[in-house]
């Protein structure tokens, strides 16, 4: 799904056979304006999405962007103004706010975590723990906040997790089958494999043929030991139970990436509003 498709589906969900409140109360030819106001401090995200929503609803809208994605915002700031057909402004309002409020909440939390990594080699990764059909916006938001987008879906990387290993018959069998699949299909995808203990890491090092070793649910000391063992032969990623309380400890282990589902789930949306003026 691309952004255009997402917006079309979201509008269809919201509008149905018509915005009957606006149709019944606002003259068809009324021209009005509104401005998007900030009511809570944080990191702004979703401006480009808002522009796309306005364009989809009414290409004749006049939109003036005053603040860009990634900007630090505070109460009272004006992000953008929009002018045009009043009914259409009201049709676009809720989708614009739903996207921007959640995206800004994600970007704000992401930026807070990214700041904790300063001075280390570690970079923050998002995950597939996203809202169904809203992933495109949530991953845009984590990137705006300073994280690195991990795979977008099941189709753009091979990530062999614990269940894959168990179903495939072990680490060596899983890796061997993945490599054979790529050769047979002609696909050029990176292979990442999850490990749960030192023995599994040692087996991956013996088998080889992967690009990234995921170290899942290790302690910071355990990650540090595995990073030494791997010795930069493969890219390393830490995951599992990592949040703002222990992120810095994991980053100081020398691991390359730290992934966190918390970037996109259990996020509080930032308070924004679209007001007539």
Q: Provide CB contacts within 8 A for 121, sequence distance 6+.
A: 254, 255, 256
- 3 state SS of 82: strand
Please name the helix (run of DSSP H) or strand (run of DSSP E) that holds residue 199, with its range, or none.
Answer: helix 198-207
Question: In the prediction, which pLDDT does 265 show?
Answer: 86
Please give the pLDDT value at position 109.
97
pLDDT confidence tier of residue 1, bands split at 50, 70 and 90? confident
DSSP 269: P
Q: Where are the alpha helices (DSSP H) in 159-216?
A: 162-168, 171-185, 198-207
Range of weakest confidence among 15-24, 62-71, 145-154, 257-266: 257-266
Q: Which pLDDT score is estimated for 202?
A: 98
Residues with catalytic roles: 94, 129, 161, 194, 216
Task: Read off the pLDDT band of 2 (50, 70, 90).
Answer: very high
Residue range 212-220: mean pLDDT, rounded: 97
User: d(Cα 224, Cα 245) in Å, to the nearest integer?
Assistant: 18
State residue 266's pLDDT score.
81
Residue 24's Cβ-count burial label (10 Å; 0-12, 13-18, 19+) is exposed
Measured CA distances, 163 to 159, 170, 191 (Å)? 11, 10, 16
Read off the pLDDT of each residue in 98-126 and give the average, rounded to a whole number.
Answer: 98
Please determine, for residue 118, whether its predicted confidence score (pLDDT) is greater than 90: yes
252, two tokens: 């100081």
The average pLDDT across 81-95 equals 98
Q: 202, 254, 228, 170: which is closest to 238 by C-alpha? A: 254
> Using one digit for the tens of pLDDT, what is the confidence trace for 171-210?
999 999 999 999 999 999 999 999 999 999 999 999 999 9
Mean pLDDT along residues 257-271: 93
CA 254 remoteness from chain centre? 24
* pLDDT at 140 exceeding the cut of 90: yes
Check residue 257 and give its pLDDT: 98
Beta strands 78-85 and 235-239, pairing class? unpaired
Nearest of 3, 247, 255 to residue 111 by alpha carbon: 247
In this prediction, residue 45 carries a pLDDT of 98
Q: How far apart are CA 26 and CA 97, in angstroms?
A: 21
For residues 243 and 107, give the distance between their C-alpha atoms in angstroms, rounded to a whole number: 15
């Amino acid at each position: 799904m691309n952004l255009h498709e997402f917006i079309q589906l979201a509008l269809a969900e919201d509008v149905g056979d018509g915005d009957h409140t606006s149709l019944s109360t606002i003259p068809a030819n009324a021209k009005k304006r509104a401005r998007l106001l900030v009511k809570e401090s944080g990191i702004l995200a979703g401006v480009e999405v808002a522009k796309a929503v306005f364009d989809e609803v009414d290409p004749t809208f006049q939109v003036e962007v005053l603040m860009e994605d990634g900007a630090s915002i505070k109460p009272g700031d004006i992000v953008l103004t929009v002018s045009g057909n009043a009914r259409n402004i009201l049709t676009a309002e809720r989708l614009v706010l739903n996207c921007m409020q959640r995206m800004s909440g994600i970007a704000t939390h992401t930026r807070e975590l990214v700041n904790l990594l300063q001075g280390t080699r570690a970079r923050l990764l998002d995950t597939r723990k996203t809202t169904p059909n809203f992933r495109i916006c949530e991953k845009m938001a984590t990137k705006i906040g300073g994280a690195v987008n991990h795979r977008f879906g099941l189709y753009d990387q091979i990530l062999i997790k614990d269940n894959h290993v168990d179903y495939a018959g072990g680490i060596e069998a899983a890796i061997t089958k993945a490599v054979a699949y790529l050769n047979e299909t002609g696909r050029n995808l990176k292979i990442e494999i999850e490990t749960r203990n030192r023995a599994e890491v040692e087996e991956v090092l013996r088998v080889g043929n992967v690009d990234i070793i995921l170290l899942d649910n290790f302690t910071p000391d355990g990650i540090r030991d595995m990073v030494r063992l791997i010795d930069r032969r493969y890219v390393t990623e830490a995951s599992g139970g990592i949040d703002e309380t222990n992120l810095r400890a994991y980053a100081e282990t020398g691991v390359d990436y730290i992934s966190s589902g918390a970037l996109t789930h259990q996020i509080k949306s930032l308070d924004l509003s679209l007001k007539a003026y």
